[in-house]
A and B are shown apart, each in its own frame.
Chain A
Amino acid sequence: DAGVIQSPRHEVTEMGQEVTLRCKPISGHDYLFWYRQTMMRGLELLIYFNNNVPIDDSGMPEDRFSAKMPNASFSTLKIQPSEPRDSAVYFCASSRGGHQPQHFGDGTRLSIL
């Protein structure tokens, strides 16, 4: 089975630009999570979906951040406009059922100049 697939692996862009991160969860998993990892704040849950519906977005830092899950096999996290403080590694994870272990992708390393 393929794991959680994220793209791109690395993204470097200038501040003010729109950034779109993509995630393909493991087939059959009905929960999808977006995390952000920084040295200062560690791992933070941004938002999670159940059956493509956003359940809790309380971790989304600002209105500049938005996430969608148009179908069971695809999700996006968008930042518009991007700022240097958004630089981090963004992880997507999925699980089968809310109480099962989460499987993480390899992350997208985002650098905003």
Chain B
Amino acid sequence: GNSVTQMEGPVTLSEEAFLTINCTYTATGYPSLFWYVQYPGEGLQLLLKATKADDKGSNKGFEATYRKETTSFHLEKGSVQVSDSAVYFCALSVLGYKLSFGAGTTVTVRA
């Protein structure tokens, strides 16, 4: 089946620190990969996506590269801000519309 494993949180770091959230996947077929972000009290928002191997998704200073050889899609940001405090979800889709989500990683950035 399809599944996503992401690093457990919570993650707490200082402003301007480097952030990495690891994500690995298993999939039957050739998945598209996503990172969603959930701010407190809100629904999920698409942060970035990649649809084929070696693609790099990027948005708001966040990046993730689709690595087929390691079945990974790690999220990175070089300098975080307090406003980046949220829950981050890695997800995959094989059939194009049925998303499988990871458990989510809570990130807290301190001023």
Contact = CB atoms under 8 A, between A and B. Distances in A.
B99 interface: yes
B46 A43 contact: no
A7 B89 CA distance: 24
Contacts of A104: 43-45
B43 A106 contact: yes
Given A4-B43, A101-B46, 19 more contacts: A31-B97, A42-B103, A42-B104, A43-B44, A43-B89, A48-B97, A93-B44, A98-B95, A98-B96, A99-B32, A99-B93, A99-B97, A101-B34, A101-B49, A102-B99, A104-B43, A104-B44, A104-B45, A106-B42
Interface residues of B, number: 20
A99 B96 contact: yes
A11 to B, nearest CB: 15
A76 interface: no
Contacts of B102: 42
Interface in B78-111: 89, 93, 95-99, 101-104
A88 B98 CA distance: 20
A104 B101 CA distance: 14
